Chains A and B, each alone.
Chain A
Amino acid sequence: MSDTPGDLKFLSSHEWVRVEADGSVTVGISDHAQDLLGDIVFVELPEIGLSVDAENDAAIVESVKAASDVCSPISGEVTEVNSMLEDQPEIINSSPYEDGWFYKMTPSDLGEIDNLLSPEDYSEVCEV
């Protein structure tokens, strides 16, 4: 996982968050997760305005092979979703950390970030 951006934090269930300059956070799934799933063909994104709790389901991602829940790494309110994924979910396979983001949110407690894994710790989880 040498190409994992260093500014991300991870859940062991393979979701990432990035704190943006304006204090919002962006959520997606890891390169390892998209590789495990294979060709992604469908996503169900949360409604804008939805309040989600940390480690609760916020979205669904489905590949040809399987369906998987996407947990929110931290709590907050969804402010924007990546609607491009509805027609081109395969973007998640090709760009999991950039164009393949799922949603943005206003965090209710940014301190929750400290509970998440660093890229190094996360890559250890993936190797188990």
Chain B
Amino acid sequence: MTQLNKTALHSSHEKLSAKMVNFAQWEMPITYSSLMEEHYAVRKSAGIFDVSHMAVFDFNGGNQISFFEKIFANDIKKIANENKALYGVLLNDNGGILDDLIIYHANDKFRLVSNCSTREQNANWYKKHAAKFGVDVIERQDMGILAIQGPKAIKKILAINEVSSEIMKLDPFECIFSGDHLYARTGYTGEDGLELIVPNDVIVNLWDLALAEGCTPIGLGARDTLRLEAGLNLYGNDMTENNHPYESNLAWTIDMKDESRNFIGKQALLSINKDKCKKIIGVVLKDRGVLRPGYEITHAQGKGIILSGTYSPTLEASIGLARVDPGYGDTGQVTIRHKELNINFVSPRFLRQGKI
């Protein structure tokens, strides 16, 4: 058996008696206390997540803007003169989604965070294309990521002297470098908060200081229920290389306003009829039970499949994301263990700013 990767916070998790699981070859905490308690801590106060398993890349030299214009389906020019984060996807030539990621730009530097399971694929992809633009790709394995999320997250971080007070000035999606530390007002929970992308040698201390301020440690279990309530896709579950953005609720990340920009996958996307393709839609189960990935759906004009499904602690009902044929109305059926149960189709954003 190959040794699992560990984050710099591994012993901190063990000290808290976290239940650890293998997540894409990383040994990560799934819960510390109870998933529900952790979920509510983020919705009501503040939680802290170790997400150092995600891949961090920096870039050096060359024409970085042209490089990102080529590989990124969103338009990097939106943030090239700002201190901001931009979400989007990497596409292959067929318009299939290779990954979703966030590119940060601040203080004339770009930093990119993409998924853990796609680390090698992406590193090779970036390097292959960066070479044409004279850009060096630097994988920052010395970096870790803390996410501090919840209505009281900012207040709690401001109490930590080791974090630059510059964070006070950040609006949502803004970010700033303080030396090699990147502070960004982004997250994956639907709550206000920050993500701190910082060197591993300071991360244990920041974690301890955040716990001392009353942040609750949150495992990957609640991270999944929180992101699903916020209607945020999970790469590998809700979209893969075999899906294009229009059938993945990601049309808003495709920017074709600059007609001269020829990003990878653009030609394939132009040939897709956006009105006739499948869509990702939110699903709420009206009967008793829990939606799970793979369950089959029917509606008046077609079929579908549950991609992500769980019990929503905030809505106190089972929710999911499903990819369905066009022509769905407000209601449908899901088959759970040979029984047809009733579902409602809703916006995937089950919660907005933590509220129903």
Q: Which residues of A pack against B, CB within 8 Å? A: 38-39, 41-42, 44, 60, 62-65, 67, 86
Contact = CB atoms under 8 A, between A and B. Distances in A.
Interface string B299-313: 000000000001101
Contacts of A42: 288-290, 311, 318
Contacts of B337: 44, 60
Interface string B13-32: 00000000000000000110
A38 B34 contact: yes
Q: Is the interface of B mostly helix, strand, loop or mixed?
A: mixed
Contacts of A44: 289, 337
Contacts, number: 35
A30 B318 CA distance: 25
Given A39-B36, A60-B337, 4 more contacts: A38-B221, A42-B318, A64-B225, A65-B35
A16 B292 CA distance: 27
20 contacts: A38-B31, A38-B221, A39-B34, A39-B35, A39-B36, A41-B290, A41-B318, A42-B288, A42-B290, A42-B311, A60-B337, A62-B289, A62-B290, A64-B35, A64-B225, A64-B313, A65-B221, A67-B290, A67-B292, A86-B288
A80 to B, nearest CB: 20
Nearest to A87: B288
Contacts of A86: 288
Interface residues of B, number: 16
A63 B35 CA distance: 10
A44 B34 CA distance: 22
B14 to A, nearest CB: 17
Q: Is the interface of A mostly helix, strand, loop or mixed?
A: strand
Interface in B263-287: none
A64 B292 contact: no
Nearest to A41: B311
A64 B289 CA distance: 11
Contacts of B30: 65
A114 B31 CA distance: 37
B320 to A, nearest CB: 13
A38 B39 CA distance: 13
Interface in B203-223: 221
A100 to B, nearest CB: 16
A103 to B, nearest CB: 17
Interface string B237-272: 000000000000000000000000000000000000
A86 B290 CA distance: 13
A44 B290 CA distance: 11
Nearest to B37: A39
A63 B34 CA distance: 11
A42 B285 CA distance: 13
Nearest to B31: A38
A44 B336 CA distance: 12
Contacts of B292: 67
B52 to A, nearest CB: 22
Contacts of A39: 34-36
A68 B290 CA distance: 12
A122 B288 CA distance: 32
A64 B288 contact: no
A65 to B, nearest CB: 6
Nearest to A36: B19
Contacts of A41: 290, 311, 318
Contacts of B34: 38-39
Contact of A38 (B35, B288, B290): B35
B37 to A, nearest CB: 8
A64 B224 CA distance: 10
Contacts of A67: 290, 292
Q: Shortest 8 CB-CB distances between A and B: which pairs?
A: A41-B311, A39-B36, A62-B290, A64-B311, A64-B35, A42-B290, A39-B35, A38-B35
